[in-house]
Amino acid sequence: MIPRKILFYIGLILFLYTCGKNESLNGSFQLSVSTDTSFAAIGDLIRFRIQTKFLRDNYLVVPQTQFSEPLEVRQLEPLYNENGKITGIDYILSVWDTGTVVIPAITVNVFKPDSTLDFVVNTDSLEINVVSMVAKTGSQSMRPIKGPVPVSRRWPMTTIILVLLLAGILYGLYVIYGKRIPTEHIEVETVQSSKPADEMALEKLNHLKGSKYLQRGEIKEFYVQLSYILREYVENSVYIKTLEMTTEEIKQYRSVIPFDRDQLSIWMDILQRADLSKYAKSDPEKMICHEDLAAGETFVKNTVPSWKIQNT
């Protein structure tokens, strides 16, 4: 008898030890579902909760649940225990039809701490009676309009960036405009006359000779006047638009001007120095200026026979 009792106690100890080492939750796991109401109106929000107990180190996983019409999920929030494990889920549901609405059974997966599946269990389905707002309140009047919802003011970042960009562009244009080189406008003295081109040109050259340009050191203004007088003379005498042509264009088409080659060379030299003075800020000596003035008078006098009919 004694050996049998010893074997019995040994077997009982082994059985209890095995049961204590078993990590399964069979016999202690609890699963419950609940709602905060069983009677609701269309559009009301219903809280549906799945909750477990005695999970110990295990955790809960609920697959993505798709509720069919007329149920609609508005919010889903997991429930955690003190160890940070999911022990349940809160659903916020709304319903859009009257009558008895059934919240279907939901599959719940319980996982062990090593992320292996322990077992699967399904919740019970629940019924909710849904009525219209008129039946719930007993009033046929319209419900009050919902009050305004405060909206936090935000900085209009897009507008601010665009305004700053526009200000930068305007400032850049202002800086560029301020650095521009102002154009100097030099008025050319003109004398309206019906005299022949040579007489009018010699009269203007004589007037230029008595001017104060050279005394004041205004070499550029002197050559502007001299160049204009000679160009005007050629244009009025042989009717070639030399006032509208550059010096290079005049050189290019000098063959059509019916003047002697030597006289054209004198005129080209004067125009060349005038361009250097006007555009390259070259200031010849006053003696050269006087020589160019005299050469201009000679040019006018020597070219008169080329275009003017002489009286005999």
Q: Could you give the domains of the chain? A: 24-134 (2.60.40), 197-306 (no CATH)
Cα–Cα dist 91/73, whole Å: 7
Largest CA distance in the chain: 177
Which pLDDT belongs to residue 137? 59
Is 77 in contact with 93 (CB distance < 8 Å)? no
Selection from 94, 45, 99, 42 nearest residue 71 by Cα: 94
Between 67-71, 140-144, 235-239, 281-285, the lowest mean confidence (pLDDT) is in 140-144
Cα–Cα dist 93/155, whole Å: 35
User: Is the pLDDT assigned to residue 149 strictly greater than 90?
Assistant: no
Which pLDDT belongs to residue 283? 84
Is 47 in contact with 35 (CB distance < 8 Å)? yes
Which pLDDT belongs to residue 163? 93
Is 50 in contact with 21 (CB distance < 8 Å)? no
Element (H, E) at 21: helix 2-21
User: Pairing mode, if any, of strands 45-53 and 30-35?
Assistant: antiparallel
Q: How confident is the model at residue 9 (pLDDT cuts 50, 70, 90)?
A: low
Which of the listed ranges 73-87, 99-113, 292-306 does the model predict with the highest average pLDDT?
A: 292-306
Q: Tokens 């859009």, residue? A: 96
Q: How confident is the model at residue 65 (pLDDT cuts 50, 70, 90)?
A: low
Cβ neighbours around 90 below 10 Å, total: 14
Q: How confident is the model at residue 226 (pLDDT cuts 50, 70, 90)?
A: very high
User: Is the pLDDT assigned to residue 194 strictly greater than 80?
Assistant: no
pLDDT digits 0-9 by tens, 228-263 = 999 999 999 999 999 999 999 999 999 999 999 999
Q: How confident is the model at residue 264 (pLDDT cuts 50, 70, 90)?
A: very high
Which pLDDT belongs to residue 54? 73
